[in-house]
Amino acid sequence: MERLQKVIAQTGYCSRRKAEELIQGGHVEVNGKRITEMGVKVSFEDDITIDGNAINLKEDKVYYLLNKPRGIITSTNDEKNRKTVVDLIKETKRIYPVGRLDYDTTGVLLLTNDGELTNLLIHPSNNVEKVYIAKLKGIPTKEELIRLGKGVIIDGKKTSKSRAKIKKIDKKSNTSIVELVIHEGRNHQVKKMFQAIGYDVIKLKRESFASLTVNDIKSGEYRELSVKEVKRLYALVKQK
């Protein structure tokens, strides 16, 4: 038996916090009885509906690793009818991206219908490592990268400690390639961090996420995760 909000989240319908809001708002019924209080426990044999629509508790979990191209929205749908990352995956089950990448950012993106794993991977307390490669206008000094690593103020809040190092310098074009390793997932975080030390990002790629890479996947293409990879992700976040 598990708490109702956790079971709803595990189906991939929404996050656990959103599930709690739906319960408190009177949108959820269990075996025909409306539930409005937290703490109710259910099993995967119970009938759960949200606004009258049954949710599938026994849906097989799927996991896709996508090499996100530029110009694609990281969302399940878009009000402007722009192409989304979900449109790139040939899957009939309802899947959604784990975290977000900007419209013009490329690289590693995980998509799944496993709500439990999603919540664990994106929860700030689990400090999941994300590695970015950024092309900058300008060449940061060693001192500036040290300051970046200690944390900078973006949106009124200091970032957690990170690691940054220069991979390549082009003095002729006055550009540089910098690797940045972070453990947060704030809105436009990488671009804002570099802006905080005086540099604009020209191009940005997420090189890895929770040790997953897309080195063997072409831009816009994807593959399914192996059982071993899924178990490794669970082990990574549940040991913390």
User: Would you name the residues annotated as active-site residues?
Assistant: 102
What's the rounded Cα separation, in Å, for the pair 109 and 207? Answer: 10
Report how far apart, in Å, the C-alpha atoms of 206 and of each of 95, 162, 171, 213 are: 21, 15, 24, 9
188 to 20, 133, 193, 198: CA distances (angstroms): 27, 14, 9, 16
| Cβ atoms of 200 and 178 closer than 8 Å | no
130 touches 209 (CB < 8 A): yes
Distance of alpha carbon 234 from alpha carbon 231, whole angstroms: 5
Q: Which two tokens stand for residue 47?
A: 């009938």
Residue 225 CB neighbours (<10 A): 17
Question: 111 with 85: CB under 8 angstroms?
Answer: yes
- Ramachandran class of 138: left when φ > 0, alpha when ψ lies in -120 to 50, beta otherwise: left
Report CA Rg, the chain.
20
